[in-house]
Amino acid sequence: MAEPRAAVAIAPDVQAATSPEAPVPTDPTPELQARYAEALRAAESKQAGGLAKLKAVADDGYAPAQFYLAQLYETGGLGVVRNLAEARRWTARAAESGEPNAMHNLGLYYFRGDGGPQDLASAAQWFRKAAERGVIDSQYNLGLMYQSGSGVQKDQAEALKWFSLAAAQGDDLARTAAEGLKTKLTQKPNPTPASQAPRG
């Protein structure tokens, strides 16, 4: 099977977590949002206690803070000691809190065995959750897993479905994979010559 790809690399530039497009959990309280913004400013400007504030917001269940903290543990950014087990743990918390990119990255952690044991079935489950929320690279990765039977029952029609969804969002590799599978699935099998037909 081809190596899955990251929608948000496990080690992205930590600034990506603060972009306006970063998903937020449903109905976050204004108080949590304000605390996160303050903690982020303090951490990024290396103010004393900034990381502790960030961790406190993450501990309170705010998915963007959990995901940002996970990225810091993965990269060793802002002076955090690099620790893949902690990165995976915080990614899991963010994924469980509804952060689609964290769901995708958790799938990568399980697929690669980074920060804990490899578990292809769990990787497929998390890729599916992210794919259902529109993460293109999770859709593509899920297609790869169904195509090869990695962590899921091999199913070319299901692979085609996920490749087609990613292709519909403009993913060229997914489009190529979908076209190849369509051709393979629509080809009629060669009839068995009479001399090789099973005997009845």
Residue ranges of domains in the chain? 14-186
CATH homologous superfamily of 14-186: Tetratricopeptide repeat domain (1.25.40.10)
* 147-186 pLDDT per residue, tens: 999 999 999 999 999 999 999 999 999 999 999 999 998 8
Helices marked H in the chain — which ranges? 30-44, 50-59, 63-75, 84-96, 100-112, 120-132, 136-148, 156-168, 172-186
Q: CA nearest 71: which of 88, 56, 55?
A: 88
Q: What is the pTM of this model?
A: 0.81
Which residue from 109, 183, 152, 134 is spatially nearest to 143, judged by alpha carbons?
A: 152
